[in-house]
Amino acid sequence: MENKKYTIKCPQCGTPIEVVRPAIINVQNDPSYKAKVLTGELFHETCPNCGQEIQVVSRIAYHDMEKRMMIYFRPITSQEELKTFDYEAIRSAIEDNFKAPGYGIRVVTTVNELMEKIKIAEFGLNDGVIEIAKFVYFDIFVKQFDGIGVVNIYYERRDDKNALIFFCDDGNTRSIVIDPKIYASIEKRFSEVVNAIYTSRVCMVGRDWALRMIKAYSKRDHQGADEAEIQPEIKLVTSEEA
Ligand SMILES: [Zn+2]
């Protein structure tokens, strides 16, 4: 396994800490790393001097040959990184470097997204369907929990069922089990795009993506717009077009 070494400073006491991280994780060659990502252990450092616990994120390519998933983790941890984040450059670099048919190739920018993509693949689900399902269940959630704001929604496996966990602005989490019938109906209705994201296109499949797909389909249904308008490809948008 190819490792990268670099030094950070403890935010508490200033002691230099050497961080050793894999640049590529191949799950089949080193299965223990999957658990290390899923528990967050991989991104965790402890200062040898003062014992401060620090989360240190680093770029990683996560490769699961069996599930045909390649996830590029390109962390954005500051406003500065967000400004300079060049998705098109990342995408073209990946397309030059990684060529394999029938893959789900993703770019994610947070540890939570990375974990979520791995869990979704683990249970044989389609992450495009899950992202669209979040919008469907958000509407249900708002009706049920009137007045409670939602900060984030993540997929989780709960009691052998697929669920969405709502992180709320009152500090609590609430979960809703995904009805298999709703999952199937989303998969059917959005079949073109949810299949296309598993054909080795490089994609960011998140909230923006789902929103664009929902809008594109609804436009097509209501105005008879061209099918050509529906593209599974993603561009990082800072402002959402109507
Ligand atoms: Zn320290």
Helix (H) or strand (E) holding 64: strand 60-64
Domain ranges of the chain: 1-122, 123-232
Residues 6+ apart with CB under 8 A from 237: 208
What spacing in Å lies between the alpha carbon of 113 and ligand 1's midpoint? 28
Closest CA to 69 of 133, 116, 22: 116
Task: Look at the pTM and tell me if it is higher than 0.75.
Answer: yes
Q: Which residues pair with 42 in a beta bridge?
A: none
CB 208 within 8 A of CB 241: no
pLDDT at 3 over 60: yes
What spacing in Å lies between the alpha carbon of 19 and ligand 1's midpoint? 14
131-154 residue pLDDT tens: 999 999 999 999 888 889 999 999
At 144 the pLDDT is: 87
Give burial (CB, 10 Å; 0-12/13-18/19+) of 167.
middle
Backbone phi, then psi, for 205, in 5-degree steps? -110, 95
Q: Rounded mean pLDDT of the chain? A: 90
What spacing in Å lies between the alpha carbon of 124 and ligand 1's midpoint? 42
What spacing in Å lies between the alpha carbon of 221 and ligand 1's midpoint? 58
What spacing in Å lies between the alpha carbon of 56 and ligand 1's midpoint? 14
66-92 residue pLDDT tens: 999 999 999 998 899 899 999 999 999
Residue with structure tokens 């919008």?
Answer: 135
What spacing in Å lies between the alpha carbon of 42 and ligand 1's midpoint? 19
